[in-house]
């Protein structure tokens, strides 16, 4: 198993190019199932989750030609509609094939994803919505078995909670359903918007893109013909590099970003004392020596993203004063707290709120990554800590950060990937 050895205290400088968004690419790859022709996707991030989902497509019979950032996918040859446990258990987002497989083939079996480190993460809202579109769903042997032999029918869906994956699954299912589907309380994250635009560009009429109210006129079973899609920049990767600048008190420039998508993080960094030069597709951060504390609550887009909570906690740990961080989306997304405390942080948890008292110094130690974003918080804290930190179990990082150590090294960080000796 690999780990990262980081010697803290180095200033960063220069520029970093942000990769395509993992969370945009995953639903877009799943959406290619709605087509029986070749689709080309570009600006894919070079991360494990993307390779896992592409592998699932090949297991279903699709033809995939994938280099680092480009994939040509032809799902005309799909001969199986079963997404097996071996893949789904590696990556929850595989559940995104449920809607498109059912819509195109009238049946499918997808392994239940189960829980994960950040909480229970049920898929009840996905299933309930598909049932209102006429699907018959049964859970048996750890699999969701879904059938709609005469195709799905448009329906009025009201989500009890805003769900990104649920909205994406239903938009994809609705694209091939008979008639119109409306989704109330839809997610409006930029990744959902790009999926809707891809489907709309293929000729499906979608109203309300980027709002909480979507209306989709399905094709009645006719597969779609997609244009080439260039994946949007990863707003979470971008936010993480802004935090890397802030935590090391360094000025760095991010290229190929969409500043509009990271407003919530920029606002919070400004409240902590950082300043920025912003153009259409690049951002330079100018930090301050003494970061101010921050209060934040995670919420749906355009609010502060749960996927940036851990990284901001790493910043709060060295801020001058006490910060309050409340996690509203996932019940168990504080696994990084005890690891940050091992580096010298002073964090107290009460329910879904963390009280973070800023400390003068962090000190390098051995720490363990627990989930994707928690891992990046540990890397950030290590960049600011005195001495050497070993961040273990970095397979979490490899799922979602494209060449993190390469990009940080190029900015001047002392970070090396090593192999455990046992």
Q: Give me the sign of the Cα torsion angle 10, 413, 404, 264.
A: positive
Q: Quote the least distance from Cβ 124 to ligand UD1, whole Å.
A: 5
Measured CA to CA, the distance from residue 374 to residue 381 in angstroms comes to: 11
26 binds ligand UD1 (CB under 6 A): yes
- Annotation says 243 is catalytic: no
| Shortest Å, Cβ 91 to ligand UD1 | 8
Binding mask 46-85 for ligand UD1 (x = CB under 6 A): ----------------------------------------
- Cβ 49 to ligand UD1, closest distance in Å? 8
| Member of 164, 177, 232, 238 binding ligand UD1 (CB under 6 A) | 164
**Chain residue at closest Cβ approach to ligand UD1:** 165
Q: Rounding to the nearest 10 degrees, give the CA dihedral for residues 400, 405, 408, 413.
A: 150
Query: Hey, what's the torsion of the CAs at 382, 383, 388, 393, to 10 degrees?
Result: 50
Segment near ligand UD1 (CB under 6 A); pick from 121-129, 135-143, 264-272, 348-356 = 121-129
Number of amino acids touching ligand UD1 (CB under 6 A):
19
The label of the residue with tokens 């990937």 reads: 417
Residues 6+ apart with CB under 8 A from 267: none
Among 166, 218, 239, 259, binds ligand UD1 (CB under 6 A): 166
Is 307 near ligand UD1 (CB under 6 A)? yes
**In this structure, what are the phi and psi dihedrals at residue 121, rounded to the nearest 5 degrees?**
50, 70
What the block records as the tokens of 407 is: 């990009």
Kind and range of the H or E element at 296? strand 295-297
Q: Is 240 in the site for ligand UD1 (CB under 6 A)?
A: no
Q: Is 302 in the site for ligand UD1 (CB under 6 A)?
A: no
Give the shortest CB-260-to-ligand UD1 separation in angstroms: 17
For position 215 contacting ligand UD1 by CB under 6 A, the verdict is no
Q: How far is Cα 109 from Cα 210, in angstroms, rounded to an integer? A: 31
Options 122, 142, 302, 303; binder of ligand UD1; rule CB under 6 A:
122
H/E stretch holding 98 reads helix 98-105
Q: 48-60 and 22-31 are packed helices; what angle lies between their axes, rounded to 10 degrees? A: 10
φ, ψ of residue 360 to 5 degrees: the values are: -65, -45
Nearest CA-CA partner of 400 in 418, 380, 382, 374: 374
Which strands sit side by side in the sheet containing 180-184, from one edge to the other? 156-158, 180-184, 213-217, 205-207
Structure tokens at 60: 């279903």
Please tell me whether residue 124 binds ligand UD1 under the rule CB under 6 A: yes
Minimum CB separation of residue 420 from ligand UD1 in Å reads: 27
Among 104, 126, 268, 407, binds ligand UD1 (CB under 6 A): 126
Stretch that binds ligand UD1, among 115-123, 278-286, 336-344, 391-399 (CB under 6 A): 115-123
Hey, which residues are catalytic here? 116
Interface residues toward ligand UD1, by CB under 6 A: 23, 26, 93, 121-126, 161, 163-166, 191, 306-307, 329-330
């Amino acid at each position: 198993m690999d780990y990262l050895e980081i010697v803290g205290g180095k200033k960063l400088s220069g520029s970093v190019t942000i990769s395509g968004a993992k969370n945009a690419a995953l639903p877009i790859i799943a959406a290619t199932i709605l087509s029986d022709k070749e689709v080309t996707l570009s600006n894919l991030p070079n991360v494990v989750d993307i390779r896992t989902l592409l592998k699932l497509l090949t297991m279903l019979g699709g033809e995939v030609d994938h280099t680092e950032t480009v994939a040509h996918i032809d799902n005309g040859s799909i001969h199986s509609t079963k997404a097996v446990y071996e893949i789904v258990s590696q990556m929850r987002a595989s559940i995104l094939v449920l809607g498109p497989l059912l819509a195109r083939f009238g049946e499918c079996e997808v392994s239940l994803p189960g829980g994960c480190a950040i909480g229970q993460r049920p898929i009840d809202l996905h299933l309930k919505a598909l049932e209102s579109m006429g699907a018959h769903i049964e859970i048996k042997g750890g699999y969701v078995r879904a059938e709609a032999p005469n195709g799905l029918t448009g329906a009025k869906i009201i989500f009890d909670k805003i769900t990104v994956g649920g909205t994406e699954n239903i938009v994809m299912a609705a694209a091939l359903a008979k008639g119109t589907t409306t989704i109330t309380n839809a997610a409006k994250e930029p990744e959902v918007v790009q999926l809707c635009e891809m489907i709309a560009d293929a000729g499906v009429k979608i109203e309300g893109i980027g709002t909480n109210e979507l209306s989709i006129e399905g094709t009645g079973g006719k597969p779609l013909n997609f244009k080439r899609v260039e994946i949007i920049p990863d707003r979470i990767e971008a936010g993480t590099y802004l935090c890397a600048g802030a935590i090391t008190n360094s000025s760095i420039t991010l290229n190929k970003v969409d500043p509009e998508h990271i407003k919530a993080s920029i606002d919070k960094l400004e409240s902590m004392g950082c300043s920025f030069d912003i153009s259409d597709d690049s951002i330079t951060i100018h930090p301050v020596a003494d970061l101010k504390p921050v209060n934040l609550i995670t919420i749906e887009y355009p609010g502060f993203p749960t996927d940036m909570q851990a990284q901001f906690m790493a910043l709060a740990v060295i801020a001058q004063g006490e910060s309050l961080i409340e996690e509203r989306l996932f019940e168990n997304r504080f696994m990084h707290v005890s690891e940050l405390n091992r580096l010298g942080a002073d964090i107290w948890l009460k329910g879904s709120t963390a009280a973070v008292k800023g400390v003068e110094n962090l000190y390098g130690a051995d720490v363990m990554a627990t989930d994707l974003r928690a891992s990046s918080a540990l890397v950030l804290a290590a960049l600011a800590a005195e001495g050497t930190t070993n961040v273990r179990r970095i397979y979490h990082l490899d799922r979602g950060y494209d060449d993190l150590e390469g990009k940080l090294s190029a900015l001047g960080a002392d970070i090396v990937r090593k192999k455990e000796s046992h």
